[in-house]
Amino acid sequence: MQTHASLIAGPGDALVLVDVQNDFLPGGALAVAEGNRVVPPLNRCIALFTGRGLPVYATRDWHPPDHCSFAPQGGPWPPHCVAGSPGADFAPALRLPPGLPIALIGKGHDPAKDSYSGFEGTDLDRLMRAEGVERLFVGGLATDYCVLNTVLDGLRLGYRVVVLTDAIRAVDVHPGDGERAVAKMAAHGAALATTAELS
């Protein structure tokens, strides 16, 4: 764990919200258990970062109807987050105020290629470099897939990364996948912290 002082968000920091979309919430097409519980801590972070004039980025799955990851095409997942569908919308309780200077990062457009990372096939890295971002605070869904891959890519690209452990939840296709994902992120250099440590 980092010290409290080192977790104070300031210049060079950015908040990354990973795939907080309806289809990943309870009742959604690819529901993550307790996925809705990431929303309150992320809302506190949104308020904190926007209040300090710091950038916020939100990734989202934005799939074509025939995406390769869908079971009808031989993939592992039920159809989810189809572009323009209600399931692809951000969670209604997620407080993204109108006019918020937030970068929406769509991923998974290519029907023939799956993309778990918010950096893969997107402008996220370019946008962050333009903003002078050096450290990422990451939360969202799901720990063992899109959060994991976004964090690992962020580290590979040279960013420092803090994983917000109370603002992530796992699919856990295999029991313990979420815990193993957190351990892997830490082993690759990510810091672990709760959102309460940021305030």
Annotation marks residue 81 as catalytic: no
CB atoms within 10 A of CB 96: 17
Assess contact for 163 and 185: CB atoms under 8 A.
yes
Assess contact for 57 and 123: CB atoms under 8 A.
no
Active-site entry in 19, 114, 144, 153: 19
Kindly give, in sequence order, each residue whose CB lies less than 8 Å from that of residue 64, ignoring residues fewer than 6 positions away.
82, 83, 109, 111
- The backbone region for 110, taken as left when phi is positive above 0, alpha when psi lies in -120 to 50, beta otherwise, is beta
Active-site entry in 107, 114, 144, 153: 107
Annotation marks residue 184 as catalytic: no
CA distance 12 to 74: 42
Active-site entry in 13, 23, 144, 146: 146
Annotation marks residue 146 as catalytic: yes
Would you name the residues annotated as active-site residues?
19, 107, 146
